[in-house]
Amino acid sequence: MNPAAVIVSRPYTWGNPYRFGQCHRIHGPSPHWHVYDADHNELPLEPVDRDEALAWSIFLFCEYMKEPGRTQEARTQLRGRDLACWCPLTQVCHGDVLLHIANKATPLDISALITVPSPRAGDDRW
């Protein structure tokens, strides 16, 4: 890893506050995937598999980055820098979102990175 790289994993400043994973029961992991907020609260999204849980976490991170000041702060601190996290290079992660925000003047088309998840029928929160 480049020693000058900015670490963008949790618990650092640029880590994605939206986690995903499987609940662990006494007999092993649950077959169900879940998405959690920064306070470890489970979000009522009901992803069908790991890929959809990952997509939700990236989508929610994009929404989080739209909060006032975050985009400009990312551009100021991250433009032209290498970013490092623990995600496999072959997997889309929130670091891809940060790279785009920091280095491109155009708004991010999230659908270029992930299949944007959609709420379940009857879910009017989104």
- Tell me how far apart the alpha carbons of residues 111 and 107 are, in angstroms, rounded to a whole number: 12
- Does any domain span residue 119? no
Question: How many folded domains does the chain comprise?
Answer: 1
Range(s) of the domain holding residue 64: 6-112
- Tell me how far apart the alpha carbons of residues 94 and 16 are, in angstroms, rounded to a whole number: 6
- Does any domain span residue 55? yes
CA 115 to chain centre: 13
- Does any domain span residue 124? no
Give the global pTM: 0.83
So what's the pLDDT on residue 111? 77
- Does any domain span residue 105? yes
So what's the pLDDT on residue 125? 46
User: Per residue, what are the HEC states of 33-75?
Assistant: EEEECCCCCEECCCCCCHHHHHHHHHHHHHHHHCCCCHHHHHH
- Does any domain span residue 10? yes
In 3D space, the residue among 38, 35, 41 whose CA is nearest the CA of residue 67 turns out to be 38
- Does any domain span residue 18? yes
So what's the pLDDT on residue 123? 52
Q: Determine the 3-state secondary structure of 105 from DSSP.
A: coil
- Does any domain span residue 92? yes
So what's the pLDDT on residue 48? 84
pLDDT digits (tens, 9 = 90+) for 28-72: 666 788 899 999 998 988 888 889 999 999 999 999 998 889 999
So what's the pLDDT on residue 29? 65
Strand 83-84 and strand 6-7: the pairing is parallel
- Does any domain span residue 1? no
Residue 47 burial (CB count, 10 A):
19
